[in-house]
Chains A and B, each alone.
Chain A
Amino acid sequence: MTPFLAVLIPFLGAAVISLAANRPRLRDGLCFALPVPLFLTVVGVLVRRVGGDDAMEQTLVEWIPGVSLTLSAQPLGLIFALLASTLYIVATPYAIGYLRAGGYHHLTRFMACYAIALGATMGIAFAENLLTLYLFYEILSISTYPLVAHTGTEKARSGARTYLALLLVTSIGLMLPAIIWIGASAGTLSFTAGGILDDSVSPGAGALLLVVLLYGIGKAAIMPFHRWLPAAMVAPTPVSALLHAVAVVKAGVFSVLTVVLYIFGLEYTQSLLTQPLMLYIAVFTMLAASLVALRQDNLKARLAYSTVSQLAYIVTGALLATELAAIGGGLHMLMHGFGKITLFFCAGAIYVASGINTVSGMDGLARRMPLTMLAFFIGALCVIGLPPTGGFWSKWYLISGAWSTEQYLVVSAFVLSTLLNIGYLMPPVMRAFLRPPPDDEPARYRLSEAPALCLVPLLVTAAGTLVLFILADPAYRLLAMGIP
């Protein structure tokens, strides 16, 4: 039960799945089975870590003099790993059910890349230094490209092109030079409590590095480098759900949190000239993306912009550079993950069962898919941040963090954004439950939920958001272990 095992399992799984390409039953069985050992390993690591073990640092090889390929289990990373591996369990049956129901091809490639992406996510979560994080970050970008372009249509290919181009341009063009710069001046890249940059670079250089590094982490989708996320929505819904609501985007904000906490350090971040600038850009992203989401009729596009906005919450939390806000950011990563995957699962289920993919087409839908729409409602509550869902707690801490630094502008932005969340997430629910179907065709009143493989996962994650309302305290304490 070590971090390395958690990274290794999905990669091995991908290899095994590829080898079983010609035997669909065996392959599907492997796909179902793979998340279980991964989840157990992550839980094992978590138990050891909480039980007082050290960080289980594992150095695989000295990569570049002074920088090793090292994994370790840190609280924030454990939350992230736990989130991804838990949702992987429910997302796999959903993916298989969805792809079968939708008549998609090339399932082997899909499931293998899915597994590799999860392995890379584990690597990011357990990275002990910035270069290890960068390694898995790039693997994640590359391995998700085939998933986004999966259908191979002109639209999918151009979306995937935007996706890959933006992610790699930011990571190669900004993140890599920033890493080299940090490595050259600080002499180390290890994540250290309190940061490593303090005295090694001039204040001006530190301020520049913050901007370069935050934009370099393109997966955090800070405007104006957010276009890849709506572009990625051409992918089949299971990809949008697990990867573009959880693994990939959370890898982005996780990297931002990690960099702010362990490379810059909270105090140092606060002293930087560009900290207010980046903070306001994040706040702007939060509000602007919400406004854009209001205008999207396509359900997945609306959810995608909502994700951009929610990611900005977490980035804002990181950039407020206080413990409370950082913990709030970490919690929001978890809560929003559950909430948003539920919403995406629902969107996919609706599409598979009825072919509807727009908000305006959802009138009276609850008569046909009551369970799905109930889950959608709960997921929406979680993303908005209302009890009795976990989303309430993360927003609570984020706003408290902003309050404690007397950034009232940010506080009001959080509140305003919450109102906007209601504005774009409630109409689909209202339409589905309160409006009559557009015409009196009997089919519109007949119960027709999505296949069980799709339906059960979304109910599970919806229930998960409710459970997290109760479990927020242990998560808070775990995060507090890593954020002094």
Chain B
Amino acid sequence: MSSITELMPFVVLIPLIAGPVCALLPGRGLPWLLATLAMTTAFILSAMVLAAVFDGATLSYAFGNWAPPVGIEYRVDAANAFVALLITGVSAILLPWGKPLVDDEVPERQGSFYALVLIALAGLLGITLTGDVFNVFVFLEISSLATYGLIAHGRDRRALIAAFRYLIMGTVGATFLLIGIAVLYILTGSLNMVDIAERLPTAEGARALQVGLGFIVVGLAIKLALFPLHHWLPNAYTYAPSLISALIAATATKVALYVMLRFIFDVFGAAYSFAALPLAAALMALAIGSMFAGSWLAIMQSNLKRMLAYSSVAQVGYMVLGVSLTTLAGLSAAFLHLFNHGLMKAALFASAGLVAYRCGGLGMNDLRGIGRQMPWTLTAFALAGVSLVGLPPTAGFISKWYLLSAAVAADQLWLVGLILITSLMALIYIARVVEIAWMQPRPEGAPAVQEAHWTLLAPVWVLVAANFWFGIDTRLTVGGATRAAQALAGGVWP
């Protein structure tokens, strides 16, 4: 137990230290190797951490032996261990996959590229594990700055604009978070999450606290790309290098959601948060807005990556909807979808990346008849799409099942209809791609496209297999999600 506590901070430290080292490494092979090794090690560590906290324990590590609340504390329970496992797991699978794509898209100075990747991931992991609110802000900015740089690596010049606009929006979001943290500090004089939570009851009447909560929720909603604050996301995902699209689609918004929940539940306390502001109603309205706007815009898109990006907006809506039900079942469903959506979007973006790599473009016209030439890639895409739509036996179905059950249990039957309608909208945009890729003939004179090499396909298929595995054996995902929800809202919500 104690040894795992000592090891726990290394989940963040390994990528954080490996990052700068990476920047110094020459050539193409070494930086990639180091990055992959670092994330694989972090993955193994976070699996150990999750195993240690799975039955409800909490790990606490005080940096520099400064006891909390004075020093910075890393505090891990089932909720953050679960998210950390997703981040490290997806990146450990995607990094080996992305090597040739990065060689293609970022031919030079790969050392600094992989350094940014590692630092962005370290930032996300830092947000996830830390128990200190100011530390959250710092790590948020670390990962965001690295992400802006990574997005700007995209080959299309529009990547630069996307990165700049994301930077403006993202910084506003982070600054909002900082304002909220300032309010918390002014009211309680502490920065440690647990400590703030203990001291807050004395300040509960203060209107400033409501303002603080509002700033934090809005600031993180920007990072989360919750409708109508999602404008940065489609361009950023579309023009970023393929590896980065897949990585941040699977992880960044999930971390934002996690940290929002951590603030709402652990720092402010669910009882206060949902009473002080009409949070449940607001989140529900925004979630439904996300679901419909995201799905509708996804249907309208003619670029594959852009379509997937809008679909992410819609899927974030499902997670937030789960939270807004204000039941433990709803929160579990949100965590479950957080994990499962990470898996399916990673698989979808990864197969889209392979198409871009082999065929150059991702417009619907480029995709015509591509299924016959890249059968393995497009089959993977179709299967991951089945998961996105939420058909059995995939992880997506399990998410939907729990979300729908939670809505039924909360007596919100009208939500069942909305969830199902947006699922059918997902069916429309996925089926359209499948039809174009498989059932339409290749345009006259189009160059022949070769199937990707098996080393590229293997990680994609691992992700697809994970989608099916977690669609049938749900012990880890459902167990983890239930315990994560328990850790956050156990005892407060029914």
Contacts and interface: CB of A to CB of B under 8 A. Distances in A.
B420 A176 contact: yes
Contacts of A139: 392-393
Interface string A128-150: 00010011001100100010010
B25 interface: no
A184 B408 contact: yes
B441 A152 contact: yes
Nearest to A180: B404
A146 B424 contact: no
A184 B424 contact: no
B104 interface: no
16 contacts: A61-B473, A64-B474, A106-B372, A134-B392, A135-B392, A138-B391, A139-B393, A146-B438, A160-B435, A168-B391, A172-B389, A172-B390, A172-B427, A180-B401, A180-B404, A184-B408
Contacts of A177: 404, 416-417, 420
B423 interface: yes
Interface in B352-370: none
Nearest 4 A-B pairs (CB), nearest first? A135-B392, A138-B391, A149-B439, A152-B439
Interface in B376-434: 386, 389-393, 398, 400-402, 404-405, 408-409, 416-417, 420-421, 423-424, 427, 431
- Is the interface on chain B under 10, 10 to 19, 20 to 34, or 35 or more residues? 20 to 34
Contact of A149 (B372, B417, B427, B435): B435
Contacts of B416: 177, 180
A161 interface: yes
A172 B439 contact: no
Contacts of B58: none
B472 A69 contact: yes
Judged by DSSP, the binding face of B is helix
B455 interface: no
Given A64-B474, A173-B424, A177-B420, A156 B392 contact: no
B392 A180 contact: no
B435 A169 contact: no
Judged by DSSP, the binding face of A is helix
B450 interface: no
A177 B408 CA distance: 9
A156 B393 CA distance: 27
Contacts of B404: 176-177, 180
Contact of B420 (A64, A138, A173): A173
A283 interface: no
A177 B412 CA distance: 13
B424 A169 contact: yes
Interface of A: 60-65, 69, 106, 131, 134-135, 138-139, 142, 146, 149, 152, 156-157, 160-161, 164-165, 168-169, 172-173, 176-177, 180-181, 183-184
B435 A161 contact: yes
Interface string B464-481: 000000001111001000
Contacts of B438: 146, 149
A152 B417 CA distance: 33
B440 interface: yes
Contact of B386 (A65, A142, A165): A142
Contacts of B402: 64
A163 to B, nearest CB: 11
A139 B391 CA distance: 8
Contacts of A168: 391, 424, 427
A289 B440 CA distance: 33
Nearest to A183: B405
A77 B111 CA distance: 61
Contacts of B386: 142
B439 A157 contact: yes
A180 B439 contact: no
B424 A157 contact: no
A164 B389 CA distance: 13
Contacts of B420: 172-173, 176-177
Nearest to B428: A165
Contacts of B441: 152
A251 B456 CA distance: 39
B407 to A, nearest CB: 9
Contacts of B401: 64, 180
A152 B435 CA distance: 9
Given A152-B441, A157-B439, A180 B405 contact: yes
A63 B474 contact: yes
A178 to B, nearest CB: 10
